[in-house]
Structure 1
Amino acid sequence: MYNKQSIRRRIALVAVGVAALALTATNTLAAQNEPRQPKPTVVLVHGAFADASTWNGVIDRLQRDGYPVIAPANPLRGIASDATYLASVVKTIPGPVVLAGHSYGGAVIGQAAAGLPNVKSLVFVDAFALDVGEPAGSIGERFPNNLLGPALITRPYALPGGQTGTDVYVQPSRFREVIGADVPEHAIALAAAAQRPVDQSAFVEPPTAAAWKTIPSWFVIGRQDKAIDPAGLRFMAKRAHGRTTEIDASHLGLISHAGTVADVIERAAR
């Protein structure tokens, strides 16, 4: 038999238990209803002799994982003008941004990100991470183990006022050997035919900013890169104190190893 005091004690304990369960349920419901922070926008910048389609495999993976992605056309007219254009795109994006650049695109993001507070991380994929006053061509001279120089051809083009500029292409017959030896032949043949040229000045124009000095940076390096010497890529990554991932890939590791590249970008985004 329970006395009245014992019954009251049991009732009180039950009441406390019910209150605790209700509080737990309330907190759980509040946590579920709490708005999640949106994922940062990933901006992908292609390099020379290419267009934004080189990022297609990476874009597919990032979008499936819920990341908003923009892959603007890089004008390929020179670091200053290309970086100014890219910065104008990034300024229109609300919230945090991850900037990723491939090849020459790395030189562009390294300058464009300077002074943009919403850029939280940089990703260089077989890319130039240049210092202030250091043109891309100087990296090729310092680390000459590449096939790019002898494979280039030039074509003049008209500028306003009667002046002439010079566009640079990779010889289609050497495109696979130099740019993407691990990409299927039919795909690389299409890429060679559709390549977008870069103005010759892009190789000699020195950047005026190096955002990797203040923004956390990640690097993907293809060990079989024949367009930029892997030793040069390692030098730039080490100088930037970057988090580095090496892959057995050509200069087009963003195509042949799109999953790995996407993983690195998502690590930078987190």
Structure 2
Amino acid sequence: MQLTFTEITQWLGVLWWPFVRLTGLFLIAPFFGDNAIPLRVKLLFAFIFSLLLAPLVHEVPPFNPFSIDTLLFSLYQLIFGFLVGFAVMIFFTIFSIAGQAISMQMGLAMAVMNDPANGISIAIIGRIMFITSMLLFLSLDAHLVVLLVFKESFTYWPLDSTFPFSSIDYVLKMVSWMFATGLLVAVPAIVVMLLSNITFGLMNKAAPSLNVFALGFPMTMLLGLFALMASLTGIGDHYFDLVLELNQHLHYMLRLPNV
């Protein structure tokens, strides 16, 4: 049995193109692309999943390692994976924004810690809410839903499809959804802290001799904890609704090029 160069490149393409697209997802998506996971492990996971996806991918272009078109097409597939991963990252940023808003209202704006996932400093409440949202995400098996959506991307975004400019525009519009939803999560705490600040302001006007600054800081911290409790009350049902909304956003984003 003799193998031709065309057959070899065709078989290599069956594994290579899903591998490149999965690498784009695993490099940026939360949990999958966490900086605590070594790059070799991410590539290994991408290779394993590409083996599982290979039988489900149809009409695979050949892989010619000596062609400049292969390099450009690999970059093209990498961007496809980045889009899905960036949409998932927007979802988790909702809770980081809500936590930072609550921290500033509580007077904990200076209480920051390093976020190894993003390589930046983040408010402590924001980091706690990010970790909590990640654990809830895993407990709901939502990471499997993300992989399922990614598998469906080969149906809606075939390997030979045109560049999804409309999907990129939709992902950028999801940033407004991120800020709006993050504000809604933090609204109970913001309202409670606003009322407490108004109360301390009236106390300062009514009794100027009262040291509001000495009394206000510990009281603000205490009220902030109650406000945080108010924000997290019933967060489970609201979180599940947000996960379903993320699933709708991902499917709509995949269908845009074919609409």
Larger relative strand fraction: 1
TM-score higher than 0.5 here?
A: no
TM-score, scaled to structure 2? 0.28
Which protein has the larger Cα radius of gyration, Structure 1 or Structure 2?
1
TM-score, scaled to structure 1? 0.27
